[in-house]
C-alpha cells in the first residue's frame, strides 16, 4: 500500500505530462481541494455515535419503517446527494434522531463525500465567532465552505432562540444549498410551526422541500428503567411500625 489516496500524483494534486515538459492538474485535484476545504469544517462523528450500524442495537431495535427509509437513503446515497435530497428527523427527546442522522453521515464519509456535522447552537456560535475573530474574510469563507460540501448535518434545529441577524446567516446557508441542490440532514424536537417560529419560515420552507420526513415516536430511550432490586430469597423486612 502506498498510503496515498491517489497514486498518480501522491496526493499533491499535480502530475507531469507524459513528455515531462510541464506539470498539469491531476484528475483528482478538484476532489482534493474540496476535501481540504471541508476538513476545516466539523466532519467528525462524535464518539457516542461512532461505529453505529444497521445490524446492531440501537438501530436494529428502532421502528422498521423509519430504519428502512434511512437504509434506502444510504443505499442510493450518490443519487440522493446528486439530487440534493435530504432527511428530516422529527420526534421526542431520546427517540434516535441523531443516531440515524449520524448513520447517514457516517455512510457519506465512508463513501469519501465531504460532510459537515453541527448542532445548530454550535454552527451559530461558529458564525458569530468568524465576526468576532478576524472579520468578513473568514465569515464569507465559512459560508462558502458550508455551501459547497456534499452533505450538511444540522442537529437540534430550533434548540435555541437566537438573534434575527444570526437567523439570517442560517437562512443564507440553507438557501445557497437549496439553490445549488445540495443535501441537508436535520434533526428536531419541534413541530413545524414551532420550528418556524424559532428559526424562520423561509428557512423551514426550503428545508421542507429539500428533505424527506422521518418521524420518530416512542419514549425517551435514555430514561432509567425501574428495576426491582429486592432479593427474592430474603424474608420480608420486619414491620417496624409501633403497635
Ligand X SMILES: Nc1ncnc2c1ncn2[C@@H]1O[C@H](COP(=O)(O)OP(=O)(O)OP(=O)(O)O)[C@@H](O)[C@H]1O
Count how many residues are written for the chain: 243
C-alpha cell at 97: 434522531
Q: How far is the CB of 94 from Mg ion (least distance, A)?
A: 8
Size of interface with ligand X, in residues (CB under 6 A): 16
Q: How far is the CB of 223 from ligand X (least distance, A)?
A: 9
In the chain, alpha helices (H): 29-39, 64-75, 77-83, 97-110, 120-134, 136-148, 164-180, 192-199, 201-210
221 binds ligand X (CB under 6 A): yes
**Chosen residue from 38, 130, 189, 203 binding ligand X by CB under 6 A:** 189
Q: How far is the CB of 101 from ligand X (least distance, A)?
A: 8
230 binds ligand X (CB under 6 A): no
Q: How far is the CB of 171 from ligand X (least distance, A)?
A: 23
**Chosen residue from 97, 177, 182, 206 binding ligand X by CB under 6 A:** 97
Which residues of this chain interact with Mg ion, rule CB under 5 A?
Answer: 98
Q: What is the largest CA-CA distance in the chain?
A: 107
Whether a cis peptide bond, with omega within 30° of 0, leads into 135 is no
Do residues 124 and 173 touch, judged by C-beta distance below 8 A?
Answer: no
* Comparison of 15 and 102: residue with beta carbon closer to Mg ion: 102
Do residues 138 and 171 touch, judged by C-beta distance below 8 A?
Answer: no
Q: Which residues bind ligand X (CB under 6 A)?
A: 57-58, 61-62, 91, 93-99, 187, 189, 221-222
Amino acid at each position: 500500500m502506498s498510503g496515498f489516496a491517489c497514486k498518480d500524483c501522491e496526493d499533491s494534486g499535480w502530475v507531469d505530462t507524459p513528455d515531462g515538459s510541464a506539470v498539469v492538474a491531476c484528475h483528482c485535484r478538484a476532489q482534493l481541494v474540496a476535501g481540504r476545504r471541508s476538513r476545516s469544517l466539523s466532519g467528525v462523528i462524535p464518539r457516542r455515535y461512532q461505529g453505529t450500524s444497521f445490524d446492531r442495537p440501537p438501530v436494529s431495535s428502532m421502528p422498521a419503517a423509519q430504519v428502512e427509509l434511512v437504509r434506502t437513503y444510504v443505499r442510493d446515497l450518490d443519487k440522493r446527494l446528486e439530487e440534493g435530497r435530504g432527511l428530516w428527523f422529527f420526534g421526542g427527546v431520546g427517540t434516535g434522531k441523531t443516531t440515524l442522522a449520524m448513520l447517514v453521515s457516517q455512510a457519506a464519509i465512508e463513501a469519501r463525500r465531504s460532510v459537515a456535522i453541527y448542532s445548530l447552537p454550535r454552527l451559530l456560535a461558529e458564525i458569530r465567532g468568524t465576526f468576532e475573530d478576524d472579520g468578513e474574510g473568514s465569515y464569507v469563507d465559512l459560508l462558502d465552505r458550508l455551501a459547497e460540501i456534499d452533505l450538511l448535518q444540522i442537529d437540534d434545529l430550533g434548540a435555541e432562540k437566537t438573534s434575527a441577524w444570526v437567523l439570517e446567516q442560517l437562512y443564507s446557508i440553507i438557501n445557497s444549498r437549496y439553490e445549488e441542490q445540495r443535501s441537508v440532514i436535520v434533526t428536531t424536537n419541534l413541530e413545524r410551526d414551532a420550528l418556524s417560529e424559532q428559526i424562520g419560515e423561509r428557512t423551514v420552507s426550503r428545508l421542507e422541500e429539500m428533505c424527506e420526513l422521518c418521524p420518530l415516536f416512542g419514549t425517551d430511550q435514555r430514561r432509567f428503567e425501574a428495576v426491582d432490586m429486592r432479593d427474592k430469597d430474603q424474608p420480608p423486612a420486619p414491620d417496624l411500625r409501633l403497635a
